Chains A and B, each alone.
Chain A
Amino acid sequence: MSDTTDGQVLTTQDGKPLKAALAKALRREKLRALLLIAPLLIFVLITFVAPIADMLFRSVENGIVAETLPKTAFALREWDPGSGNVPDEEVFAALYGDMVVAVGEKKHTRLGSRLNYEQSGISSLFRKTGRRIKRMDEAGPFTEQFLDADKKWGDVSTWQVLKQFSPKYTDGYFLNAFDAKRGIDGIEMKPADERIYMLLFGRTLFLSIVITLACLVLGYPIAFLLAALPLRTSNLLMILVLLPFWTSLLVRTSAWKVLLQQQGVINDFLVWTGLVSEAGRLVMINNQTGTIIAMTHILLPFMILPLYSVMKTISPTYVRAAKSLGANDWTAFWRVYFPQSVPGIGAGAVLAFILSIGYYITPELVGGTSGIFISNRIAYHISSSLNWGLAASLGTLLLVAVLVLFVVYDRIVGIDNVKLG
């Protein structure tokens, strides 16, 4: 402290400044710590951070037009889609040159299917043109020959798509993920019947909240019992809570199919008791109900465990103290026990919610069409439609949504209030 007040710099025995010596000593410590965690750090970087970063990058990356049709992309810079006219001969000439090369390398179909995500029909346009390109006259004029090959070359919208995707980076995937597109006068929403992602995001959020609440309502009393019972009994109960972890997720989800389907166990039972008529069998699967029930079951342990570990630390003397001060059972619970269990609720809710929002298998199996999540759509684009850019942008949005919710949660509940034990 004194080194600043009297203007003198404290030094070590051999005259080096004390602060520098301290920093040096600390640096060695830090370096050693870093070396210790290095294997894990490298592992995480290579197997986790790098693939995710690469995937996220795909949501804006868009080199394909510029690579396949470099001259066309360059020539299109001058063209204004707002004019309402197709580009002039110069651009068509560039396109011819590019296409000859692309067809020779057989790259035009790839470009066609890529641009087909943006506007259907482009894939066949490129295939058709590719077949005709060899028969075209090298001397031009090219405009008529292309129009001859396919009339779509006369559509402004075709060229607009080409122009829009000719830069190396694009916001097209993100627009798509927001159910929007770039029309002639800027960004506009897609027609109402083509909007699906915002609906899916909304549904994913809503169902995740419902599932989290259901887990809380069902899990709280169990965690309470676990923490309150004598050790022997509570161990047994704990095994029951953990039992689902030892069963395959698929098996558990399929079991729900057996239970919930219209000819399933529950419906049979309800019909047998007469609560439900044969014709009025309940539809409990392949819809949102199915997703909620199965997901709640699967995420329940993730709610119970943090709750339990927090409740375990709440000494029973608090409740006794409250009662000795005149509080009845409910008041003692609500005013004294419950507030102390809130950190557990926070941890359990965050865990269940974040797991739920990205869940994939269970909604896929029991969700039908009305009960699927955004993650199912992402999986579809990864493995079926092969539109990885869109999948990546949807994934990025999901990630951002979770982070935003996390920050909001931190503001309201406070992340330091979250305890896992």
Chain B
Amino acid sequence: MANTRGAAVKYDSVQKSYDGETLVVKNLNLDIPPGEFLTMLGPSGSGKTTCLMMLAGFEPATHGEIYLNDRPINNVPPHKRGIGMVFQNYALFPHMTVAENLAFPLQVRNMNKAEQEEKVQRALEMVELGAFGNRRPAQLSGGQQQRVAVARALVFNPELVLMDEPLGALDKQLREQMQYEIKHIHESLGVTVVYVTHDQTEALTMSDRVAVFNDGIIQQLSTPDDLYEDPQNSFVAQFIGENNKLSGKVIDIQGEECLVELGDGTQLKADRVNVSAVGDQTTLSLRPERVEFDTHDSMDNLVNARVEELIYLGDHIRVRMNVAGNDEFIVKVRNRGEKRTLNVGDTVPLGWALNDCKALDAVV
């Protein structure tokens, strides 16, 4: 398929309420440059679909303006927006064959027959379904239907494609395969993609940038590695990847560092991310794989912890420990083939670097 230019999207203080009482989307500002793969990630009910529907034109924004290539589109009906869309359940027309489904957007654009056929065939080949044009959607497997839906959303060369949890109905293996395929199609075509999912792995694998939604608000908008390494608040730290939480109180602040005292009096040094003053309550966030058993005295933080449970997972061992009264503290130990030396009930020293321990807001 021909390379398409991507479109630029801009949400400008968009708000949305369905019932006039609660805001489902609260003051959304979002700039999406041409050609970007942007993912809206968040738990169910956080307003992702609503944002997408406002962009597609199926829901009016209660307040604010949405721009497509700098053109305000609030008053443009959906069929004139030229936005491709992949729905969660694919929404392939059951009474048409695959080829007819793909030809539909071309027919309504009054393209001539020969050109239609050529484009349909090329789109089918792009998703490796060249021989399936005459089948009905019901005669295809879930993964094949998914590909048809993607091909149909792209066949009329839109500059922007929206996908609302398109892989939600597939099994794990197929989902992973489709993630790569969609990613490659995006790279080869250059269209802008706005992708909605509640699956953080999916978001991290596919996206250029991820907007983490909660409660109608973008909690953080960053590249995948930033989200993981530098979460800006407890929600993001908790939602992306695995995370240990320790609650405490800030007792000292030195530039970008702070000192936090936990409930049992343990004092830990942490990266000051989301605390403003001494005396604030805070949640420390620490990734399980950054905690070390081979401690040495120069480490920023050292604590003694009791082993509560050992879970053998092949490539690594998950150790559930009690740290400063929190017995949900998880540590991942890489399996190096040594004889296991840890036993339940042992008390061992743990250590981690200041930079791996983020002092975030206290909620959650």
Contacts and interface: CB of A to CB of B under 8 A. Distances in A.
A335 B104 contact: yes
Interface string A308-333: 00000001011011111111100110
Contacts of A140: none
Q: Which of B81, B83, B105 has the most CB of A within 10 A?
A: B105
B179 to A, nearest CB: 22
Nearest to B87: A317
A316 to B, nearest CB: 9
A340 B95 contact: yes
Nearest to A340: B95
A328 B79 CA distance: 6
Interface in B100-120: 104-105, 108-109
A336 interface: yes
B108 A325 contact: yes
Contacts of B153: 324-325
Given A320-B78, A323-B79, A336-B93, A331 B87 contact: no
Contacts of B91: 315, 317-318, 320-321
B192 to A, nearest CB: 15
A331 B81 CA distance: 16
A339 interface: yes
A340 B94 contact: yes
A331 B105 CA distance: 11
B108 A331 contact: yes
A344 to B, nearest CB: 13
B302 interface: no
A324 B104 contact: no
Nearest to A335: B104
B156 interface: yes
Interface in A128-157: none
A339 B77 CA distance: 24
B82 interface: yes
Interface residues of A, number: 18
Q: Which of A321, A324, A327, A339 has the most CB of B within 10 A?
A: A324
Interface string B49-87: 000000011100000000000000000011111111101
A324 B93 contact: no
Contact of B108 (A317, A321, A326, A340): A326
B95 A326 contact: no
A340 B82 CA distance: 25
Contacts of B295: none
Contact of B152 (A315, A318, A325, A331): A325
A326 B82 CA distance: 7
Given A323-B78, A324-B79, A324-B85, A318 B105 contact: no
A325 B105 contact: yes
A339 B80 CA distance: 24
A327 B108 contact: yes
A324 B87 CA distance: 10
A325 B90 CA distance: 13
B58 A320 contact: yes
Interface residues of B, number: 25
B322 interface: no
B220 interface: no
Contacts of A322: 93, 104
Contacts of A315: 89, 91
Contacts of A320: 56, 58, 78, 85, 87, 91
Contacts of B108: 325-328, 331
Contact of B85 (A321, A328, A332, A335): A321
B95 A339 contact: yes
Contacts of B82: 326
Contacts of B78: 320, 323-324
Given A315-B89, A331-B108, A335-B104, A324 B84 contact: yes
Nearest to B105: A325
Q: Which of B84, B89, B108 has the most CB of A within 10 A?
A: B108
A417 to B, nearest CB: 10
Given A321-B85, A321-B87, A322-B104, A327 B79 contact: yes
Interface string A188-210: 00000000000000000000000
B156 A324 contact: no
Given A320-B58, A331-B108, A335-B104, A326 B93 contact: no
Contacts of A317: 87, 89, 91
Interface string A378-389: 000000000000
A339 B79 CA distance: 20
Contacts of A335: 104
B262 to A, nearest CB: 50
Q: Which of A317, A318, A326, A340 has the most CB of B within 10 A?
A: A326
A326 B156 contact: yes
A321 B79 CA distance: 10
Contacts of A323: 57-58, 77-79
A327 B95 contact: no
Given A340-B94, A340-B95, A326 B89 contact: no
A407 B188 CA distance: 54
A312 to B, nearest CB: 15
Contacts of A340: 94-95
Nearest to B93: A336
B87 A327 contact: no
Contacts of A328: 77, 79, 108
Q: Which of A315, A325, A332, A335 has the most CB of B within 10 A?
A: A325
A245 B166 CA distance: 45
A339 B152 CA distance: 20
A321 to B, nearest CB: 4
Contact of A327 (B57, B83, B104): B104
A325 B104 contact: yes
A286 to B, nearest CB: 45
27 contacts: A315-B91, A317-B91, A318-B91, A320-B58, A320-B91, A321-B87, A322-B104, A323-B57, A323-B58, A323-B79, A324-B56, A324-B153, A325-B79, A325-B104, A325-B152, A325-B156, A326-B79, A326-B82, A326-B105, A326-B109, A328-B77, A328-B79, A328-B108, A331-B108, A332-B79, A336-B93, A339-B95
Given A324-B83, A326-B108, A328-B77, 9 more contacts: A317-B87, A318-B91, A320-B56, A321-B91, A324-B153, A325-B156, A326-B156, A327-B79, A328-B108
Interface of B: 56-58, 77-85, 87, 89, 91, 93-95, 104-105, 108-109, 152-153, 156
A-B pairs, 6 with minimum CB distance = A325-B105, A321-B91, A324-B85, A317-B91, A323-B78, A339-B95
